[in-house]
Amino acid sequence: MFFIPGFVITLVTFPGIIVHELAHQLFCRIYKIPVFKVVYFQTGNPAGYVLHETPLNEWHSVMISIGPFFVNTIIGAIIALPAALPIFKFHTGTPLDYLLIYLGVSIAMHAFPSRGDADAIWQTLKKNTTRFWVKVLGYPLIGLIYVGSIGSFFWLDLLYGVGVAIGLPKLIIYIISNFY
């Protein structure tokens, strides 16, 4: 097994980082949380971030932190889907089709919330005023985020991106072609 430096992965998958930060910003807008600064992409650590006011509603804080999971997954799948049919069913993919698959994988692989997102959820959950049901849902989320973070060392994020951008479209094509 070989080692690929993190900055190389960051450069190659920058579209996913940009969409990840856009998702945080989108959820801030949905919940009307003021955003002070957005860095969509940089080569440093972190690769991007959104600075916003602390939400008064703890559930809004959790959703802002996990928003990229939903947004990146959906956008990654939607971008890759039109390219899946020519590539995987007819084997006639054009360079544009392969670009769409790359973008889909890149975006979907950055769906996992970061450790910084987990820390933001943790800060919300440890408040005495946080409602019980938010804590019941939030603590397992933190655990999953940390498992995903550890799993990224073993390319779990890439496997997820491939599953969303390649596996899911292939499954859809298989189901449609066998039922119609």
Q: What is the pLDDT of residues 138-170, one digit of tens each?
A: 999 999 998 888 888 788 999 999 999 999 998
Asked whether residue 108 carries a pLDDT value surpassing 90, the answer given is yes
Please indicate, yes or no, if residue 4 is contained in any of the structural domains: no
Going by C-alpha positions, the residue among 117, 112, 136, 113 that lies closest to residue 125 is: 136
Going by C-alpha positions, the residue among 158, 179, 173 that lies closest to residue 82 is: 173
Please indicate, yes or no, if residue 71 is contained in any of the structural domains: yes
Sorting pLDDT into bands at 50, 70 and 90, what band is 85?
Answer: confident
What are the C-alpha distances in Å from 163 to residues 76, 103, 104, 106? 10, 13, 10, 11
Please indicate, yes or no, if residue 77 is contained in any of the structural domains: yes
Q: Contact at 8 Å (CB) between 139 and 122?
A: no
The Cα–Cα gap between 70 and 42 comes to 23
Please indicate, yes or no, if residue 3 is contained in any of the structural domains: no
Please indicate, yes or no, if residue 17 is contained in any of the structural domains: no
Please indicate, yes or no, if residue 18 is contained in any of the structural domains: no
pLDDT at 89: 82
pLDDT at 78: 95
Average pLDDT over residues 73-99: 93
pLDDT at 2: 61
Please indicate, yes or no, if residue 6 is contained in any of the structural domains: no
| pTM score of the predicted model | 0.91
- Residues found in the chain: 180
Q: Contact at 8 Å (CB) between 50 and 110?
A: no
pLDDT at 95: 96
Please indicate, yes or no, if residue 117 is contained in any of the structural domains: yes
Going by C-alpha positions, the residue among 95, 71, 97 that lies closest to residue 16 is: 71
Instruction: Quote the number of domains for the chain.
Output: 1
Range of the domain at 149: 57-179
